[in-house]
Chains A and B, each alone.
Chain A
Amino acid sequence: NAGVTQTPKFQVLKTGQSMTLQCAQDMNHEYMSWYRQDPGMGLRLIHYSVGAGITDQGEVPNGYNVSRSTTEDFPLRLLSAAPSQTSVYFCASSQGGAGYEQYFGPGTRLTVT
């Protein structure tokens, strides 16, 4: 099993550009989530999904959209990139929800200039 995969690994955007961060898992997990990690702030939840067709907002959802059309994929869309969105983004999945072990991808390092 590949686990949780994320692409791209690095990305540089100009302010106002849009892009999609890809996340896929092959463990048949129902729960998937996106976090951003800024220096000294741990991980903050952006959006999460408890199953295909169901998404919900996390702690810091503004400026981001998600969709969950399949169990395997959970892409994160930046609508109009801003310098404040410069961060490392992690996708995670788990078999049962927030109280279960989260399996994290390797992360995408995004810089917005």
Chain B
Amino acid sequence: TQLLEQSPQFLSIQEGENLTVYCNSSSVFSSLQWYRQEPGEGPVLLVTVVTGGEVKKLKRLTFQFGDARKDSSLHITAAQTGDTGLYLCAGAPGDAGNMLTFGGGTRLMVKP
């Protein structure tokens, strides 16, 4: 079983601050996805990174895939209250299997 560890588990910051969430594993993934989940709803995809070293930007969110495809990070610049939610990373196996592995999640609260 491939494991994905997310850190931190909880993060409470003021509006305008920057933050980084990490997703680490000892396994290689063919791709890594980041999801955001609101209370009472299912996760919604933010981005997929596929190539080692890849950087993708989505407005104030920057996603990076590690060179060895074992880790990823999500950086939010100038956080807003609307960024509050649960952020989940999920890795697709490097052997082209069909089991998606999720990290434990980072619960972000952005205070006004």
**Which A residues are closer than 8 A to B by beta carbons?**
4, 31, 33, 35, 40-45, 48, 50, 56, 58-59, 90, 92, 97-99, 101-102, 104-107
Contacts and interface: CB of A to CB of B under 8 A. Distances in A.
A48 B99 contact: yes
Contacts of A102: 33, 35, 43, 45, 90, 100
Contacts of A50: 98
Contacts, number: 67
Interface of B: 1, 4, 6, 9, 30-31, 33, 35, 40-45, 48, 88, 90, 92-93, 97-105
A101 B46 CA distance: 9
Contacts of A41: 104
Nearest to A107: B42
Contact of A45 (B40, B100, B105): B100
Given A98-B93, A99-B92, A40 B100 contact: no
A78 B52 CA distance: 40
